[in-house]
Each structure stands twice: as structure tokens, then as C-alpha cells.
Structure 1
Amino acid sequence: MAVVDEDGADRYVDLWTGALHYAEAMRRSGVGRGDVVLAQLPNWREFVTLAVAAETAGVVLAFCPVHWGLRETAGALALIRPRLWFTTLATEGEVDRTELVRRALDGVSSPLRAVLIRSREAPAGTTPFHDWLASTERPSVDTAVEGAAGLAPLEIAVTSGSAGEPKSVVHVHDTALAAVDSTIRRQRIVPGDVIHVAVSVCHTFGYFYGVRCALQAGAAMVLQERFRPRRMLELIDAHDITISLGPSAFVLELLRGAATYRRGLTRLRFFTHGGDTLPASVMRRAVEQLPFRISRVFGMTEFGHVTATDETTPLEQCIDSVGSPQAEMELRILDSDGTPLGSGREGRLHARGPFLFAGYLAEDRVDEDVVDDDGFFDTGDLGFIGADGFLRITGRARHVIRRGAETVPVALLENLIAGHPSVQHAVVVGAPDSRFGLGEVPIACAQLHAGASLTLPEIEELLAQHGVTRRFWPVGLRVFDEWPLGPTGKLDRAALLQRVTEPDSARRET
């Protein structure tokens, strides 16, 4: 078996002949080598077939989250100008997207054909997927293909940039293959493995380390449209799943139900935790209470995973680090003046190696000016590499909270607060200082264990015990039953800050 979703399953021969059929339909639609098609789909088998089809035809596959609204979707279409847009009018638990699709098409200036998958209706200007495919005959399984390779563009990951505008990251065949093959070797992924993918396949995490990892290893994948722990257990039991992956929100959900879920999770060999970080205290509980190995990674859309823990990593490094560098990649830490720093010293993290993307798509060209003179890419993350060679992430440069002339140690506060017995997970955000106008003030946001309570004085007592400067203490506490999450399941800090700063937002406040 190659790929399973909630609607059915495809063997590798089905996947291959289906991909040849899609490729021929693209050719009949006027899509040729080097042209771009956009996939904006849930975790469905059609995405996997489309990805293989594009690769066999030398077509560039672009993708963006299906949960995006009109502004972001229209921005992606305007930026990448695809020849075909594969999407759907409805997803599990989501509102109807008919109006979004119609308005997005109205705003497009270049020729574009929208192909609607698993959609009952087809508004004006769109084509039902089965009608689009029915215009061509299914080729034979031994049909010759002339796909691209090497430095030819393979895929464009369209993400939401920090400035609020879509950012298009271009990978070529060599960079994608190198990044994924490295993980397959290090984590010993074999054809007998079955990979559970509940992370969006229209994001690099799900595409590289779910879809491509399974395909490049000759393994199988089981797609879950939306992460639900109980459904994950059912899928593990039905399909003998051995590997899963996801952000902190997935780990926290499994941890909250560890007593219930533990037995059903024993078949997993490992779970790749990436996309964001968890405090060491929370990770320790996860390692102790969940019955599978957690492979912690650090990665970005621009280069995939550059560090990881594996089966040889000592326990403490699995808990307090995001792993050691992949063999092919090189990391260095620089201070604000660009001077390299030694082990244990915090600075900005830079990466270099064969996983690095080709550049950002900008208008009619790819902006390749993305590395420094030595070939290093500035990740924008803060961290340090210990004497043991393992990377610790201490924050994100843009997440720094400035209180007057001082920098609040966000990662330290989050780690200490998360260590409180009542706390499941903690995040500290910076809200405008309306009282003194001294930049920002830290606000503690916490998700608690069932039946637990927490007050701001308790946090202050905890920080005092650890000798944290009083000026850095949070001035407020907000307790959340659920975190606001982005399309990939990562914590959405911007949405969290908005909830904190808007008095009428839904929250429990202490």
C-alpha cells in the first residue's frame, strides 16, 4: 500500500498510473515543463497523486494551506500565478468556500483554471475534477516520463510571511531530495514503515517528512484530515502505523490523555516533534509518559530539518535540546555584529548546506540573494550550541520582548512557568505597556492540567525562588482552555497576543 486516507487507499501501482493520468491531463490543459500548478487541499490522496504527477511532468508544484482565507489565498495566486489551481469547496468542519473561490478567481489577472476536487458543485469559471480528468485516457503503466531533476525547480511552499504577506519558498529537486533522504537514513525509515500524517500536506513539514519521506523510502502513508487523538489510535490499530509527526499541540493532546491513549500508541516507533518548541519540563513528562521515542527537530520551510535527536541521543539531550546537526548541514551562532560565538553562548542561528532552498519567488524571478558571503542563511532564531554539540533554541528574534532598554528572557520565563505542577504548557507574550509607555510588558499565558488552578502571585513566588529579576516578571496571567493554532497546528502567537490585548475576547482570566 502507498497511501490511505479517510476515503480509500491506493497501492503504488494505482498511485503511479493515477499520476500518469494527472500528468497527461495537465499537458492537455496547456501545462508544460516549468509551469506552476497550485494545490490547496486537505490531507487527501489526490494531493499525493498530484505531487507525483507534477514531478513526472517537470511541472512545479506549489502549495498553501486550505484553511487560508480570501486575503491570503488571493495573495498566493497573485504571487505565483499558477496555470491550474487544485482546490475544494468544502473541508471537514469548515464553512463553504464557494464564495472564497469565486472572489479569488475574480481578482486574478493571469489565465487560471480552477479544478475542484470532491466538490458537488462547480461555480462559473471552475471545472469539476472528474470532468477535467475525463478529457484524457489513462496511460499505460510503462509510459515513458521526462521529469526534471537536479537544480530545476521542484516545489514552491507558500507560507504566511512575518509581514502578513505570502512568502514563496522555492526548492529544487536536489535540495528536497537531500533533506528528506538525510532524515530517512538517520531515523532508519524502511519500506515496512507506515507514516501517519495529520500535519497539513500543504506545508513543508507534512510534505517533506510525511508525503516525500514515505515515497522516497518506499513506505506507506496514512493521511488524517484533522488531528484527533482517538481517531489517530483507530488508524494506528487499522494500519499498523509506526511513525507519526506533528507540532507541540499534537504532543500536548496525546500527553493530556496519556493514561487513556498509552496502550494504543505502543506500536509507534517514533514521533517527530517539530514546528515549534516545548519547555524542557513538558518534554520530560512527554518522554516519561508516552510509549514511543520522540525525535525532536529544528527546521524551517527554507531547509527542512537541520537538527534532530535519534535513537542514539542521550535522554537529557532529547529533553532539553532540539538535537544535533544532520550530517550534511553546518550550523554557527553569531552575535549582533556577525562575530562567531563559541559553545554555550547565545546568538542568532545560521545554517549552511545542501538542504538550503533556491530562494524566494518575487514577481517574475527567484530572489537568490538569501545567504551571506560564506553561504550561511540567517534563520532569525536565537539559540546556542552546547559543548555536547546539541542545539538549544532560546527564542525567536522577532519574539523578543523589550521592556524599556532591557530584553525580557521569554524562553526562561516559559520554561519556569511550565514547570509549575498546575501547568500543562506556558507561553509568554509582550503586550504594549499602556501605563508607562516602556515598550512591552510580559503576560503569562497558561494551559492547565484538568482541575488545576493558578494565580499570578503563585507565578511570582516561583520566579522569586529561581532568582529571576523582578522587572522581568509577568504583569498579568491569562488561562486558556485551548491555544489558538495556525493551519499547521503550531501555536499562533499573533492570535494569542490579540486575545490577550482585546478585553472582549473569549478567555478565562486570572
Structure 2
Amino acid sequence: MDQDLAPETIAARLGVVLQSERIARMKQQGFWTDERLVDCLDRAVLAHPDAEAIVSARKDGGCVTRLTYRELAGEVERIAAGLAALGAQPGTIVSVQLPCWWQFAAIVLACTRLGCIVNPLMPTARAHELKAALSLCDTRIFFIPRSFRQVDYPCLLDGVRKDLPGLRHVVVVDEAAPGGFEGLPSGVAIPKAFTHADAVTEIMFTSGTTGAPKGVMQTSNTLLAATRAFAERNGLGAGDTIFMASPLAHQTGYLWGIFLPIFLGARVVYLDQWVPQRAAQLIAAERATFSVAAPTFLTDLLGVQEAEGADLGSLNAFLLAGAPVPKVLVERAAERLGVRIGSAWGMTEVALVTISHPSDSAERVSATDGAPLPGTQIRIVNSGGVPVPPRVEGRLQARGPFNFVGYLKRPDLNDTDADGWFETGDLGYVDDAGYLRITGRAKDIVIRGGEKIPVADVENVLYRHPAIADAAIVAVPDPRLGERACAYVTLRGTDGFDMAEMTRFLAACGVTRTYFPERLEIIAEMPRTASGKIQKFLLRQRAEVDTATASAG
């Protein structure tokens, strides 16, 4: 074997932290089975080759692509052959910035076939985020759409490509020509490469507090262990139809929109852009039985059902994650749809750790974030790292088979102790029954509609503006999205700055539009500690009071 392709060489280059003791323990306990996603595909093809695997729909109601498992496998082989012709081999990082299209799933499977590592990137990522992610990954091959939501992606990439010397191939996926990808060769035999299930298969970037992007590394064993436990807790099987409108580049979409249906040999319905009316149509037409998303999605679906009488009766369960679940939403869904609502907590580093039981009451679903999945453990510790009793708030730590294997090239940031406990950065408590309740976040992140906004990164961009002296972004409660972002700034002298200028400046710097603060407050000075740190909790309190006052008025 080429020394550069040896598993230990690849792991060292990436900065993987995966002790042999953990591997042995997880396999002895049966959580890690050494299966890869492409093995699940092969199993499904043998079991029911002509069963429908993917229904890929557009938000405008136009193009709908349907693939059986046999057809999906054929596309996977074609793409894998094309990747091999481009020089892809075990350990090659392939970045994918596509919407919720069938091609995304097929590319992931093809990469797994070759032992490549997938780096999913949100379609909303712009020049600022792309440059950081592709540089850190040293991406060799990059899949992008020709156009999506009026964005010309090849043109967008042209603006940063000069700063990406390692990027050798850009493959454009064109909606108008779904059968082939521009720049992807054909007719090349697929090498018999095999990558072990303990090798890194996914690098997904998550928001942090330092402003520097962190690439979370997961293996086939960690991701499929989470998928298996999730399926068992929810009683899912090959006869289910999963509806997925969450972005596939988000861990919610990646795991439950790609891994889950292929693992089950089930059917998945993709919607490339969230439009509640279109989502309701697809759920009814395709008889979807299960979905998972942020509470915002269910709120919108209920609005369509109540206003237009949409038929959502096929849904058996809807799992809510990424934001607190209002009790009234659980009760409305049960009354109007007869659907079981579940709550869950997870993050990119640990997949999904806690989830409600199917028999849990509406009160428990809304008042907690669920109980740990088999094999996972959580604990709450005080500031000194000592575990605290039930119902005492503290720092949340988690460990188990789903925990990641390190941050890309930054093992020093792993926040995992010698016993495997990962410091999540969240605050919470555990009740007497072992159910978790998240009460806040130690990490400085705003969650808008289930999507994390990297506050420190946006603040760093704002600091570049010549008019700004200080900038701090905090969460503002929102009844529909859970939170919105409010920027507090102080100005240098009398220099002018307003909402329009902030929007213009962030756009010019290539910041993703969904990361833009939706409120701007200009203040004389920032509240600070004696050491000079900005006291964001005071800004949050101020924002909440201002919001409540405005609503009352």
C-alpha cells in the first residue's frame, strides 16, 4: 500500500483522536459493527432492487426525480468511477455544496465506496465561509450547483479560487441536466479500495466561539451507531417514508436524510427549499410517515393544515430538535394531525444523544430534551468539574459511541478528557427520571430556526468596519424561529452606521445572508466586567426587555 494512503498516515494528517481502547470497547459492546453506508446500500439493492429509494422534489413543483435502489446504485457506481478518474482515493477530501437534491446522497455513497471523506457545506455559504472551509480541508474535488436560489455558484467560486491552490477539480451539478455532472469523467474502472469503518468519512464544520471554523470528524462507525440507535428508538423500518427538508449539509439532514433511509432500506423524500405549502403537498402525495426538523418547520406545516386543510394524516411521528419545543405546539400537532411529537438534543460532535420515548407525554416532550440513547451517557458538572445531583444546573458533558474523533487538524481543541467526556458548551440539568433539559449555552451561539449562527465569526467581520469600535451579537427570543440575532455596536466618534450599511458591509465581505443580524442597536458603551470582557448576559436582558416592550406597545 502507498504509505500516503495508509490509514495511520491519513489519521495523523487529519489530527484524528481515536484510542484503540475506545475502538475495542465500542465493538465489544456491539455499538460499532464495522459497516459502512455503502454496505447498507448493497444490502438494500439485494433485498428490493426495484423499491423506490429517493424522491427528489423542487420547491416550485416542477422537476421530481425518482430513483429505485437499483438505479441509485448505478448512479453511485458512475460517480465513483468519475471520482476515481479525477484522482480520488482513500483519504481524499471531497467538498459538496448542494441543496437537498438526490445527487448529494449519491455523491456521499460514491465517496464512501472509494474511501473518500465528505465535507458537506451549506448552500448558503458564501466567499468568507468557503475560503475558510476549503482551505482547512485542502479540498481536492468540489461539487457545486450551477444555480440555486438565484445564485451563480461557479461565479461565486471564481472569487476565491485563486486562494485555493489545492482545489483541482470543480464539478458542476446542473438542474437542467440531471443525468450527468459537468466535469465528471466516465468509463473508468472503480479501484478496489476499502476503507475501514474507523476511518474518517465526514468532516462537517460547526460554529464555535473563537471565530475559527472547526471541522468535526466522524467515522462510519460513529455515524451508523447513531443511526441504528435512532431508528430503534423511533421504531422505524424499511416500510417508512422519511420526509426531509432540512439541508443535507446540516447534521440533521445528513444523518436522517441520507444515512437513516439507506440504513433502513427505506424511502426518502427530499424538498430542496422550504416552502410550507409545497412540503404539505409532498407529505400528502408521497404518504410520508416520519420527519425530523426544527420546531419552525412543524409550526409552518400546522399553519398550512389549519388554513388550507392539507392532508398530513400519513405522518406517524415528527421529531423536533435544534430549539426548545413549546408545549402548545405538541398539543396542536396531536390534536390537528394525530401525530406523535418527539424532542431531542444533539450537536455535530455527538450526533444525537438524548431523545424522548414514543410513550412520553406532551408535558415531558416539551419540558425536556429527552433521555440518553443506548450506549450514550450524560452528566452535569459544576465549575470544578464535579458531578452535581439531579435538578441542579451545570455544564453538560457527554460520551458514547456517537462522539466524534477530533477536530480537523486541531486535536488541541477537542474538549474531551481522558475518560471520554466531551464538554458540550451547553448548560442544563437532569431530572429524577434521567431526562435532560438544556437551559442555556456557555458557547456563544445564536440558534435561528434550528440553524446555528457563528456569532464570533460575524462579530470579527463587523470589527473590520471603520465606523465600529465594539460589536457584540446576542440572541433575541422569537415566537416562530426560537431566536433572532441582534447586533449591539459602539461607534468611533461620529462616524455613521445603520442597518442598511451593516447589511451592505456583511454582504461585501462574503458573509452568508442567514448569518446577518436582524436587529441593530447602537449604544454609547458596552457593559463590561472588571477585566474588560463584554457582559453579554446584560445585553441579552436588554434585548429581551426591548422586545417585550415593543410587543406590548
Q: Same fold (TM over 0.5)?
A: yes
Asked whether 1:270 is paired with 2:270, we answer no
Distance 1:20 1:509, change over 3 A: farther
Structure 2 partner of 1:90: 147
Q: CA deviation at 1:261?
A: 5.8
SS of equivalent residue, structure 2 residue 343:
strand
- Which of 354, 363, 383 aligns to 1:316? It is 363
Structure 2 partner of 1:220: 267
Structure 1 partner of 2:98: 41
Q: CA deviation at 1:232?
A: 1.2
Q: CA deviation at 1:472?
A: 8.5
Distance 1:50 1:160, change over 3 A: same
Structure 2 partner of 1:195: 242
Q: CA deviation at 1:437?
A: 3.7
Asked whether 1:17 is paired with 2:74, we answer yes
Unpaired runs of 5+ residues, structure 1, are: 122-127, 402-409, 445-470, 481-507
Asked whether 1:108 is paired with 2:164, we answer yes
**Counterpart Cα distance in 2 of 1:104 and 1:218:** 40
**Counterpart Cα distance in 1 of 2:445 and 2:273:** 32
Structure 1 partner of 2:10: none
- Which of 344, 369, 372 aligns to 1:297? It is 344
Render the CA deviation track for 1:268-294: whole Å, top value 9, x for unaligned.
011121122234455444454443111
Structure 2 partner of 1:385: 430
> What are the equivalent positions in structure 2 for 1:240-255 lying under 5 Å apart?
240-255=287-302
| Code of the aligned partner of 1:331 | I
Distance 1:260 1:61, change over 3 A: same
Asked whether 1:79 is paired with 2:149, we answer no
Asked whether 1:344 is paired with 2:391, we answer yes
Q: CA deviation at 1:147?
A: 3.4
| Code of the aligned partner of 1:71 | H
Whether contact under 8 Å (1:442, 1:474) holds in the other structure is: no
Q: State the identity %.
A: 29
TM-score, normalising length from structure 2?
0.71
- Which of 36, 55, 67 aligns to 1:4? It is 55
> What are the equivalent positions in structure 2 for 1:136-215 lying under 5 Å apart?
136-137=186-187, 146-215=193-262
Distance 1:171 1:245, change over 3 A: same
**Counterpart Cα distance in 1 of 2:542 and 2:216:** 37
Whether contact under 8 Å (2:330, 2:362) holds in the other structure is: no
Whether contact under 8 Å (1:430, 1:440) holds in the other structure is: no
| Code of the aligned partner of 2:441 | R
Render the CA deviation track for 1:96-116: whole Å, top value 9, x for unaligned.
233211112221122421110
**Counterpart Cα distance in 1 of 2:366 and 2:390:** 19
Q: CA deviation at 1:195?
A: 0.7
**Counterpart Cα distance in 2 of 1:400 and 1:219:** 35
| Code of the aligned partner of 1:115 | V
Whether contact under 8 Å (1:196, 1:244) holds in the other structure is: yes
Q: CA deviation at 1:89?
A: 2.8
SS of equivalent residue, structure 1 residue 392:
strand
Structure 2 partner of 1:488: none
Distance 1:282 1:195, change over 3 A: closer
Structure 2 partner of 1:464: none
Structure 1 partner of 2:283: 236
Whether contact under 8 Å (1:287, 1:319) holds in the other structure is: no
Whether contact under 8 Å (1:442, 1:472) holds in the other structure is: yes
**Counterpart Cα distance in 2 of 1:28 and 1:252:** 46
Asked whether 1:477 is paired with 2:524, we answer no
SS of equivalent residue, structure 1 residue 192:
coil
> What are the equivalent positions in structure 2 for 1:278-427 lying under 5 Å apart?
278-362=325-409, 369-398=414-443, 427=483
Q: How many aligned residue pairs are there? A: 428
**Counterpart Cα distance in 2 of 1:261 and 1:386:** 40
Structure 2 partner of 1:53: 110
Distance 1:119 1:430, change over 3 A: closer
Distance 1:297 1:334, change over 3 A: same
Structure 2 partner of 1:68: 125
Distance 1:263 1:55, change over 3 A: same
Whether contact under 8 Å (1:431, 1:441) holds in the other structure is: no
Structure 1 partner of 2:183: 132
**Counterpart Cα distance in 1 of 2:153 and 2:252:** 25
Greater shift, 164-173 or 340-349, is seen at 164-173
Whether contact under 8 Å (2:370, 2:436) holds in the other structure is: yes
Q: CA deviation at 1:181?
A: 0.7
Structure 2 partner of 1:117: 173
Whether contact under 8 Å (2:120, 2:203) holds in the other structure is: yes
**Counterpart Cα distance in 2 of 1:160 and 1:370:** 15
> What are the equivalent positions in structure 2 for 1:436-475 lying under 5 Å apart?
437=527, 439-440=535-536, 474-475=544-545
| Code of the aligned partner of 2:429 | F
Q: CA deviation at 1:313?
A: 1.9
| Code of the aligned partner of 1:106 | K
Whether contact under 8 Å (1:58, 1:146) holds in the other structure is: yes
Q: CA deviation at 1:190?
A: 0.6
TM-score, normalising length from structure 1?
0.76
